[in-house]
Amino acid sequence: MKKPVLGASTLAAPKPQKNWDWRAASNFIAGGAGGALLFFASIGGFEPAPTRMAILLALILIGCGLTCVWFEIGRPLRAMNVYRHIATSWMTREAFVALAVFATGGLAWLLLQPLLAWLAGAAGLAFLYSQARILAANKGIPAWRHPRSVPLMVATGLAEGAGFLSGVAFLSGATIGFWQAAVLLALIAIRALIWNGYLAGLTVEGAPESALRVLNGIASRLTLFGHVLPGFAVLAALAGMPGRGALMFAAGSMVVASGWFLKYTLVRRAAFTQGLAVVRIPVRGGGPAGPAVKPGWKPVPGAKAG
């Protein structure tokens, strides 16, 4: 049986990337939330027991994410080579920051010394930022290389970290203060604004139609379960409704679940390659050249193929 002959436009169109699977996505999913949780644990102002619980959970999340991406490597024993390119690679910088995360985080968990906790929190923020830059450094994936992908990854990581902190406080019986609830509400609003700006930027500046279809397909669910419902739950808690802790736990859970859903979608389902483009279609003989062609991309008025 003959294989079907693919047309030129099909061969040139953007295709899903196949290098990073669910294990790579898990590093962004768990690692970003863990880094932000470590930061919030260092400034949360809770009693020793919930603080230790939050620090330990943050280290577990970061460790699980790094373990997943380690198993994705074709030759795991060569993983130490990641430390060789600190001048050029955000993946190398992430690896160095991870050492600081586990060193300071481990000591902060053992000793609960304020300076160590603050150092661990700073390392957690640096880890989150490094991950965001790793994604944006992949220039062959338009949905990743967009300038607004970095603030989006940082914003959702911070929102997830604050959401996790609310869950830890509820499960440990700690009192969630006004400022913790206000921070979570602010981060929900900030993530919503950055997400809408990111999606609008991709639409206006151009992106593969397949990527836009995937991202637009999750927009309504992300808005409802990631922003509207948790936002109302936090507002209800701030208004003094009964079950404040449960409301904050529910809000935090929705923020974390929706953030992980967003990151999995971005890394796995919306990650379409650049594809090929023709600046102008050549003609045989005399006459003007044909228009630019960029198969699989949403047309943008005034934009050139490239």
Domain boundaries, the chain: 19-269, 279-306
CA distance 72 to 125: 24
Given a contact cutoff of 8 angstroms between Cβ atoms, the answer to whether 112 and 79 are in contact is: no
Is the pLDDT confidence value at 10 over 90? no
Residue 4's pLDDT is 54
DSSP assigned state of 75: S
Is the pLDDT confidence value at 291 over 90? no
Among candidates 295, 297, 306, which has minimal Cα distance to 6? 295
> In this predicted model, what pLDDT tens digit does every residue of 153-169 receive, in sequence order?
999 999 999 999 999 99
State pTM to two decimals.
0.90
> In this predicted model, what pLDDT tens digit does every residue of 251-288 receive, in sequence order?
999 999 999 999 999 999 999 998 776 555 666 656 56
Among candidates 36, 52, 273, which has minimal Cα distance to 157? 36
> In this predicted model, what pLDDT tens digit does every residue of 215-263 receive, in sequence order?
999 999 999 999 999 999 999 999 999 999 999 999 999 999 999 999 9
Residue 301's pLDDT is 55
Tokens of 267: 């890394």
Residue 65's pLDDT is 96
Amino acid identity of residue 303, one-letter, is A
> In this predicted model, what pLDDT tens digit does every residue of 59-70 receive, in sequence order?
999 999 999 988
Cα-Cα-Cα-Cα torsion 37, 38, 43, 49, nearest 10 degrees, comes to 90
Helix 178-205 vs helix 209-221: crossing angle, to nearest 10: 150
CATH number of 19-269: 1.20.1630.10
Amino acid identity of residue 149, one-letter, is S
Give the three-state DSSP class for 62. helix
